Amino acid sequence: MPTTTVRLPEGLLEALDEMADDEHVDRSTVIRRALERGIEDLSLDQAVERYQRGGTTAWQAASSAGIDLVTFLQELQARGRGLRTDEGLLEDQIEGLE
């Protein structure tokens, strides 16, 4: 596995160490888990933004975020974002199903 070096503030290191102690794992394991979750969250944020700008369909946005369409639609609702609907978009989505 490749290695990288990152400078972190002391408070963040202390929090990571506390989590590692609580879970009986090393700091690297906690950092990897945090990064994985963070990347998933950022990927979803980007997918929602692309969808809201009209750059992608809901299906494509869900796929790029690594989640299913229903979960993506639920996430839109949780964020107070609505579905984009217009005739052209609906035609594109229907074509995507064929």
Per-residue pLDDT at 32:
96
Q: Alpha-carbon distance 77 to 84, whole Å?
A: 12
Q: Are 26 and 20 in contact (CB under 8 A)?
A: yes
Indicate whether 1 belongs to any domain. Answer: no
Indicate whether 84 belongs to any domain. Answer: yes
Note the pLDDT tens digit of each residue in 9-64: 999 999 999 999 999 999 999 999 999 999 999 999 999 999 999 889 999 999 99
Per-residue pLDDT at 91:
78
Q: Are 61 and 87 in contact (CB under 8 A)?
A: no
Token pair recorded at residue 44: 């979803």
Token pair recorded at residue 90: 């609906």
Q: Is the model's pLDDT at 85 over the cut of 80?
A: no
Indicate whether 2 belongs to any domain. Answer: no
Indicate whether 29 belongs to any domain. Answer: yes
Q: Are 48 and 79 in contact (CB under 8 A)?
A: yes
Indicate whether 18 belongs to any domain. Answer: yes
Its domain, for residue 75, covers 10-97
What is the number of domains present in the chain? 1
Indicate whether 90 belongs to any domain. Answer: yes
Per-residue pLDDT at 89:
66
